[in-house]
Amino acid sequence: MMTAKSKTIRSENQIMKPSPGLKLLLVFSSMVLMLYKCQAGTTNLHPLILIPGNGGNQLEARLTNEYKPSSLLCNRWYPFQKKKDGWFRLWFDPTVLIAPFTSCFAQRMTLYYDAVSDDYHNAPGVQTRVPHFGSTESLLYLDPRLKHITGYMAPLVESLEKIGYVNDETLFGAPYDFRYGLAPEGHPCHVGSKFLQDLTHLVENASTSNGGKPVILVSHSLGGLFALQLLNRNPPSWRRQFIKHLVALCAPWGGTVDEMLTFASGNTLGVPLVDPLLVRGEQRSSESNLWLMPNPEIFGRKNLLVITPNATYSASDVPRFLDDIGFREGVHPYKTRVLGLMEELVAPGVPITCVVGSGVKTAETLFYGSNSFDEQPEIVYGDGDGTVNMVSLLAHESLWSDMKNQTLKTIRVPGVSHTAMLKDEDALDEIVREISGINSQLSFVENVSVQ
């Protein structure tokens, strides 16, 4: 007969010595838990760098004694709020909505092309700088005091933080002076080239600080063109070592028809109360805007994009178009600098995922009446994301899909516009899902359409 004491001992022995089947189950459960923690933890994440689009980060300015205001209101005292050393936020400044100050803003944002030095520079007496390079801080809101109306990458950053990314550890930002562009070999481009150098160093440092893991680049809009130039201007060995993947959101590979509207008549970009003619000169002066003109190889050399009573213009007629709208000073830099860049749409040999909006009416043909380019045109719309035409968004497929060493994937998000790509829940889900897949090596199915 078994005593109570022997029962207790037997029970203790059963607990201390589980059966072989239970042992196997416990080991398996521990392995699953460890794998889950590894995948969910930040240690498994590749460092990620965000590259914004045109107007997608803050800019600061300071006025020197050389500054000549265009009016009394634009004197050096404006704006009232400045840092102790004189720096103030140039972009975005909400007073741009008030007509007298719109002119001040435009004067201070304007670039000038110097044919002698073959490069662009600021207006005399205006110094500019990009705050918080390396951090996401200046990408979140264009004005932190007006978060609800100037939010940019804040929703995307929040979504990335939810899967474990940490600012300044695994998550970085690459803001830049988006007014400046780049130039082909043989042409100076001080500001744009300096940005690519800084971005190269940021990529290397982000990789080194994360155990040598290669970096995921996530670009929006114009940032995709800079990312492509970064990759192609570094040797293949550098790309293999430091770049894991490029995720390009709404990349205007072949430019936009909307840019021809901007140059001809000015573009308020949906900002209310602003007269487009007050900002047209500043917008024409932007080197990067000139870079975003429609690429003849993508839009075709005979497809008419602008029609007037006296002339028609295709993408191959941009020099004549610039002359006819009264911007003759843009013809030379377009011919010598921009066309060379348009010819450099070369596959970089690193995996690329392009996330594009579709089904949003996008300017396809501009019809001007007899009252010159000072009036807004009648517009025929086509497919795109509201800013970039579909033929440009999908140019990577027509250019690179047959390349043996180039892996491509396209994700279409119907009904999502160029700016909504960074805010729309469905779009953010797709972007984060893709980045999670890249981190776990499970990302590639060549073409995806979100319903």
For 64-104, what is each residue's pLDDT tens digit? 999 999 888 888 888 878 898 999 999 998 888 887 889 99
List, by residue number, the catalytic residues. Answer: 221, 385, 418
The residue type found at 41 is: G
Check residue 114 and give left, alpha or beta (phi > 0: left; psi -120 to 50: alpha).
beta
For 107-164, what is each residue's pLDDT tens digit? 999 999 999 999 999 999 999 999 999 999 999 999 999 999 999 999 999 999 999 9
Residue 67, Cα to own-chain centre: how many angstroms?
31
Triad 148, 151, 152: Cα angle to 5°: 165
Burial of 119 (0-12, 13-18, 19+ CB in 10 A): buried
Alpha-helical regions (H) of 248-368: 258-265, 276-285, 287-291, 296-299, 318-324, 331-333, 339-342
Angstrom CA distances, 401 to 162, 347, 398, stand at 33, 9, 6
Stronger pLDDT, 10 or 425, i.e. the higher one: 425
**CB count in 10 Å sphere of residue 173:** 25
pLDDT at position 4? 42
216 by DSSP, 3-state: which?
A: strand
Contacts of 53 (CB under 8 A, 6+ apart): 178, 219, 220, 221, 222, 223, 250
Give the tokens for residue 290: 């000139």
pLDDT at position 19? 59
Angstrom CA distances, 29 to 15, 17, 39, 415, stand at 18, 18, 15, 43
pLDDT at position 3? 43
Contacts of 257 (CB under 8 A, 6+ apart): 294, 299, 305, 362, 363, 364, 365, 366, 389
Rg of the chain over CA atoms, in angstroms? 26
Triad 247, 253, 257: Cα angle to 5°: 135
Residue 340, Cα to own-chain centre: how many angstroms?
21
- How does the average pLDDT of the chain come out, rounded? 90
pLDDT at 7 over 60: no
CB distance 244 to 212 below 8 Å:
no
For 119-134, what is each residue's pLDDT tens digit? 999 999 999 999 999 9
Stronger pLDDT, 24 or 142, i.e. the higher one: 142
Contacts of 16 (CB under 8 A, 6+ apart): none
Share of the chain above pLDDT 70, in %: 88
pLDDT at position 1? 43
For 385-426, what is each residue's pLDDT tens digit? 999 999 999 999 999 999 989 999 999 999 999 999 999 999
Residue of 199, 250, 205 lying closest to 229 (CA atoms): 199
Residue of 131, 45, 160, 94 lying closest to 422 (CA atoms): 160
